[in-house]
Structure formats: C-alpha cells, structure tokens
Amino acid sequence: MSFQLHIWGDHACFTRPEMKVERVSYDVITPSAARGIFEAIHWKPAIRWVIDRIHVLKPIRFETIRRNEVGSKISARTAQSAMNAGDLTGLHLVVDENRQQRATLALRDVSYLIEAHFEMTAEAGGDTPAKHSEMFRRRATTGQCFHRPCLGVREFPAWFELVKTPPPSTLLESDRDLGWMLYDIDYANRRAPLFFRARMEGGVIDLVRVRGEGLRA
C-alpha cells in the first residue's frame, strides 16, 4: 500500500554523521528521517515503513544557528548510586560549567513529498495490511499523530498532509548529485549505518532504484 505524504516546515536539520559536533545538515531529508515521520503518525511492530521516493519541492537553502549546549550526558552510574542511596544530592548537571557553543547549519523553508509503503514483519501475527493502511490513512488525514513528527531534530516540527497529487515545486536546480547519504541505520545488524549515492533527477530521489543498485555499509 503506497502513500504520498506532503511534509514541510520552517527549518530542518538532517545531520550528516561526519559533521555532527557542529551540525551540518544534508541537502535533503534522509530516508531514515522520512521513515521517522511516518512512524510518528502510525507504527506497530507488525509493520516496517519503506521510503520509495523523495520529491524535493523547494530550493535547497541553509541558515546557521549557534546555541549554548551541554557537553555531557547523564551518567548511569551516578544515577544508580543516587538511587541506591535514596538521595538526590549531587545528582544534577551545572549547565554553565559544562557549556559548549555549537553551530547548526540547518536547512530553511523545506517541503517534500514522500512516497512510502509498508511491509509486514514477522511480528505481524494476525494483522492484515488493510488494517494498518486504514489506520495510517485515518490518522494522516485528520492530523493525528503518536508524537509530533519533526524535521531531523525536535525543535523543528514537521507539518504533514496526505495528498493525492504532488504540490507545485519551486525547485530551481532539479538535477543534482547529492553525494553519499545515510540511507538508514540497520538496527538488526548492530546498528550499522547504510549509505547510498543520492541523485536528484527532475527533483526526485528514487530510492526504489537505489535499493536495486544496492546499499553500502
């Protein structure tokens, strides 16, 4: 069952893994981020979303934003010992002693049409594709979502609408070699990243063909 979802937003950051300290976004949405948006609307262990085509509908433009961020994560060990001791003293993080200023090179004013379908997984049990298809359709039409989908990071919310015909495109340069891009993370295989050669032809990145050509680890 195939769906066409129009998604758009003010800003987006699909972070390149090689430039993630001072985040630099890919030129376009990655298949993995697109999958995340579908999953935010409807997902069950019974299904797996597969992205078929990404239509880029607006010119690719960037903007830089620098913010104060923290440099460390919560340590499980400290939390564990505070938990055992039953005492919160010392279990906190002083942000202005742990400060890192990081820039984000984000995309601005993005709009995509995502074509995707889902496959049933081994955990499907008695579920039918029609059931999930209807659930997704209903939610996407009325604007329901499990959680608010985002464009790469949570501060950039994604708006979505199920469409029948692609919205008009204002893309100026519709053919572009986008280089190697992240396809998705292979969770079954120790979270190994998979990459593909992204080519935008007539404003469209054809992932069906990409899968046919084979992905690279």
Partner 1 sequence: MNAVANRYDFVLFFDVADGNPNGDPDAGNLPRMDPETSQGLVSDVALKRKIRNYVAMVKEGEPGHGIYMTERTVLNQTHAKAYEAVGLTPVAKKLPKEQDGRRITEWMCANYFDIRAFGAVMTTEVNAGQVRGPIQLAFARSAEAIMPLEISITRSSVTNKKDLEKERTMGRKHIVPYSLYRVHGFVNAKLAEKTGFSEDDLELLWRALENMFEFDRSAARGEMAARKLFLFRHESALGSAQAHRLFERISVARRIEDETVAIGDKRLHNLQPARAFRDYVIEADREGLPAGVELVERF
Contacts (Cβ under 8 Å, ≥6 apart) of 77: none
| Dihedral angle, C-alpha 41, 44, 48, 52, nearest 10 ° | -20
The whole-angstrom separation of Cα 36 and Cα 13 is: 14
Contacts (Cβ under 8 Å, ≥6 apart) of 86: none
Residues 44 to 83 in contact with partner 1, rule: CB under 8 A: 63-70, 73-76, 79-80, 83
For partner 1, the closer CB: 159 or 195: 159
Sketch the per residue contact string, 152 through 181, with partner 1: x for CB under 8 A, - otherwise.
--xxxx-xxx--------------------
The count of residues in the chain is 217
The whole-angstrom separation of Cα 46 and Cα 55 is: 27
For partner 1, the closer CB: 29 or 205: 29
Instruction: Report the nearest approach of partner 1 to the CB of residue 73 (Å).
Output: 5
Give yes or no for residue 103 binding partner 1 (CB under 8 A). Answer: yes
Taking residue 70's Cβ as centre, other Cβ atoms within 10 Å add up to 13
Sketch the per residue contact string, 6 through 45, with partner 1: x for CB under 8 A, - otherwise.
----xx----------------------------------
Residues that bind partner 1 in the complex, under the rule CB under 8 A: 10-11, 63-70, 73-76, 79-80, 83-84, 86-97, 101, 103, 108, 139, 142-148, 150, 154-157, 159-161
